[in-house]
Amino acid sequence: MPEQQLSILSLVIGASVPVQLVMFILLIGSMISWLMIGQRWWYLREMKGGFKAFETTFWSGIDLNELFRDGSMRLNDNETVDGVENVFRSGFREFNRLTKNEGTDPDAVMEGTERAMRVALSREEEKLNTHLPFLASVASVSPYIGLFGTVWGIMQSFRGLATMQQATLAVVAPGISEALIATAMGLFAAIPAVLAYNRFSADADALYSRYDTFSDEFTSILHRRVHSG
């Protein structure tokens, strides 16, 4: 490392306590937001794959009872049933329960089924959107935090400058350089968070609307069945 250049590590260590605190907060924020990014990416990928797989089996002409039983078996085998299958299962369960009693009004059956599916849908939506608010907060707040650190650092360096006999650039330059690291860190935390938030919220929206479409289709199938039967 050339000696005439200040190393970034020495700048960070030499920073004043508030600036260091700001840097620490930003580092933690960045780490957590990357954690969320990783988790979301993984989860949404799995959900997309699961939706595709479930839709193909659903439209392959399989018996709905069998599909339901299959899911129950998987649940018993300690496997997860996630996403759109939950919507299907809660709707189908409610439908079976309501049609078991003879003489129930078909409209009442449909209403109950739809309600059950709506509940499951909103639960799924919640799952899709977890952590996204955190990413949004990091994206919008961390530049401000970084800026605060920078302003504070520059304030300090100028205060030091006021008592100097001779004001040279060399006196303030390290302080300003050190302060600017905070802004850099803020941006470093914010930029991926913004990108990830936009990407993931768009993905979640798309997935949710597909779930919604599926539940409508499923409702129409059940509708046909209850009115024909």
Interface pick for another protein out of 13, 14, 24, 31 (rule CB under 8 A)? 31
Residue ranges of alpha helices (H) inside the chain are 8-14, 17-58, 64-76, 84-100, 106-129, 132-162, 169-228
Q: Is 1 in the site for another protein (CB under 8 A)?
A: yes
Q: Under a CB-based contact definition with an 8 Å cutoff, are residues 100 and 92 in contact? A: no
Radius of gyration of the CA atoms of the chain, in A: 28
Site string for another protein, 160-189 (x = CB under 8 A): --xx-xx---------------------x-
Q: Exactly one of 13, 62, 73, 75 binds another protein (CB under 8 A); which one?
A: 75
Contact 191/144 with Cβ under 8 angstroms?
no
When asked if residue 134 is in the footprint of another protein (CB under 8 A), the reply is no
- Applying CB under 8 A, the span of 33-41, 117-125, 138-146, 206-214 interacting with another protein comes to 33-41
Residue 205: CB atoms within 10 A of its CB come to: 13
Give the shortest CB-126-to-another protein separation in angstroms.
15
Nearest to 193 by CA among 129, 149, 141, 148: 141
Residue showing tokens 């609307």: 209
202 forms part of the interface with another protein (CB under 8 A)? no
Candidate residues 14, 24, 27, 209; the one interacting with another protein per rule CB under 8 A: 27
- Within residues 36-55, the interface with another protein by CB under 8 A covers 36-39, 42-43
Is 157:164 a contact under the CB 8 Å cutoff? Answer: no
Interface residues with another protein (CB under 8 A) are 1-2, 5, 7-9, 27, 30-32, 34-39, 42-43, 75-76, 78-80, 162-163, 165-166, 188
